[in-house]
Structure formats: C-alpha cells, structure tokens
Amino acid sequence: MKSIHKLAAVSAVLGPIQSVLGWLICGALFAGYDPVRQTISELASPESPTHILQSSFFVLGGTLTIVGAIFARTLALPGRLALFVSGLCTYGLTIFPTPLVGSSTAHRIFAIGSFVLSAGWPLFAMRFRKDAHWIIRPVAAVGQTLLQAALAIGFLIVWADPQATNVGVWERVVTTAQSLQVTVVVLVLYFSQRRVNTQ
C-alpha cells in the first residue's frame, strides 16, 4: 500500500477548521440569520450579503476534499473516488446556490450527493489486507459508515420536513462529523506510517 502524503494530512486538518469558521463568520455578518433554523447553504444564497464569502468557503472545502482524495493513497481507490466526487459535488452546490425563498433542485441534488458520498466513503476505502491499519479494516470501516449514514439520513429527513425548526443544527452536526471523519482517519494513518518509517 502507498503511504498518506503530507498534503492529504494538511488538507484533512484544514477541512473542518475552514468549514466551521466559514459558517461562523458568515453567520455573524448576516443580520437576522438564525443558525438553528437556517441552513449553511442560505449563507451562500444569491440574495445573501455573505454570498461570495460563503461560496468561497464552499469552494475551499471542496478543493481540500479533492486534495485529500488524491493524496490519501493508503485508502482503497473506490473510497478515494467517493471523496473526489464528493468534492466535485461541493463545487456543484456552489455553482447552483439555493435561494433564500424557494429551493433549487440542482442544489439539492449536489448537496445530497455530497452528504451521501461523505457518509459512505469509509466503506469503499476499506482494506482487507492483514497488514492494513485497523482504522480502514472492515469492522472499523463499516462502523464508521453506519454512524455517518445514520447522521446523514437523520439530517435529510429533517431537511425534507418544511415544518422543521432545527435544520441548521442538524446540518452543522452532520457536516462537522463528516469532515472530522476524514481528519481522524487520514491523521491516524499518517502518523502511524511515520512511526513505522522512523523505527
């Protein structure tokens, strides 16, 4: 198996940091915005005063995901492809923003694609080799996928309910959990391989 490149480790660290900073900064700049009730995507709506700034954070997040997919070479190729396409989906939901009033079908498709792929990539990235690290072995990979899938499905159910008043909270929990999942797996593999290489 190839090793985790340093670029993958750096992108994995920056991913959740820029994501949280993005919606925190933009939410503070958007007067009247309610992070409990409103989605992160609304910060990037064309009518939003933070449209360009939040869109930039989305593009940065998608780019970091793609960089991680390319350079996290220990992961099985299908898992890396899932992460890569997830990053492309982030570009897609940025290109097709959701309006503050109404909805965008294209945005929803790309957003759902991103959530699904970000939840399922550990399953496709797992290794069956006995010398593979436990974090990408079947038991751990399946467990990670089930956890992320449960969170993602819970969010999508709430998101689809027009009466829901806590969509923003759910989305932030899921996006942060999915981003941290990549961070944990990549860093565990990266530092594990460094220890082996220095012995």
Query: Tens digit of pLDDT for each residue in 130-185?
Result: 999 999 999 999 999 999 999 999 998 998 888 889 999 999 999 999 999 999 99
Range of the domain at 161: 6-198
Within a domain: 187 = yes
Within a domain: 1 = no
pLDDT at 199: 63
Within a domain: 171 = yes
pTM exceeds 0.85, yes or no: yes
Within a domain: 36 = yes
Within a domain: 65 = yes
Within a domain: 19 = yes
Count of domains observed in the chain: 1
| Closest-CA residue to 3 (of 190, 169, 174) | 190
β-pair partners for 72: 4
